[in-house]
Amino acid sequence: MLFFILALLVYQDLPVFSKVGLKSEILKQERELWLYREASDYEKCPVLYLLDGKENFLTVVGIYQSLRRTNEIPPLMIVAVANIDREYDLSPSHIDVDYMKSGGGPNFHKFFKNELIPFIESKYPVTGHRTIVGHSLGAIFNLMLLTKDSGLFQNYLSISPSLWWDNQLISAELMQEVTKWDESKAALKLFMSMANEGSLADPNGKIMLDEYTKLKDFLTKSKRIAFNYRDNFTENHL
């Protein structure tokens, strides 16, 4: 009931909220987008792209509104991408498990680059400054984008990334890639956080924590990317 009341309050305070469908030739499906933009803002503004869009939309809009009231954040457009097959779309590579399809991340990357971003930037008054936010598998997808196509976004927020995925493939590839960058990449910003994954029954929890520590230490020492982090070890994965 509390969540329902909060949801109503947030929706009542949404100056411009809309849902649109984007037909994707790449994904062979129509993807639902939840869009938020301040009605008073007619100037071009940056865009925040949100993965797990329907699940995280209200929370992120609520945080954004709170930060805007205290002028801690500039005007943004929020583009929340709804899921259809989350595990497939957000996983950077295929792993052999029976309970889910995987490995659609590279194709989802193409959707972002060739369809979603051009659609938003041609239809709405926005700048080319982009932020992407993801949690868990969404966070490992973010790190894949940073590794494979670092210029697609300027800011990457990676919350409790599933660093265990495919024998820690993405963190290994990211560290290898960062060593090749020159200092011009230092304008890129990555924020990463991790909860107390070791308390989970899932054995991947300890792998996530260990790999997070390894990656955090590496990126903290690097001069090739603007890196910040937060250890949320008193919180759980969700």
Residue 237 lies in a domain: no
Q: Has residue 11 got a pLDDT over 50?
A: no
**Locate tokens 């899921």: which residue?**
83
Residue 19's pLDDT is what? 92
pLDDT band, very low/low/confident/very high, at 10 (cuts 50, 70, 90): very low
| 190, 161 contact by CB (below 8 A) | no
Contact residues for 122 (Cβ-Cβ < 8 A; gap 6+): none
- Is the model more confident about 4 or about 221? 221
- Is the model more confident about 9 or about 19? 19
**Locate tokens 């690097």: which residue?**
222
What are residue 35's DSSP bridge partners? 18, 79
The amino acid sitting at 115 is: E
Section 19-42 average pLDDT: 89
Q: What is the pLDDT of residues 109-162, one digit of tens each?
A: 999 999 999 999 999 999 999 999 999 999 999 999 999 999 999 999 999 999
Beta-carbon count within 10 A of 101 CB:
12
Backbone angles phi, psi at 116, to 5 degrees: -65, -55
Q: What percent of the chain has pLDDT over 70?
A: 87
Residue 73 lies in a domain: yes
Q: Tell me, what CATH number does 67's domain have?
A: 3.40.50.1820
Residue 187 lies in a domain: yes
Residue 197 lies in a domain: yes
Residue 178 lies in a domain: yes
Give the count of domains, the chain: 1
Q: What is the pLDDT of residues 149-196, one digit of tens each?
A: 999 999 999 999 999 999 999 999 999 999 999 877 778 999 999 987
Residue 107's pLDDT is what? 98
Compute the distance between CA of residue 172 and CA of residue 150 in angstroms, rounded to an integer. 16
Section 13-29 average pLDDT: 86
**CA distances, 83 to each of 12, 170, 191, 200 (Å):** 24, 22, 23, 25
**Residue 162 belongs to domain spanning:** 2-232
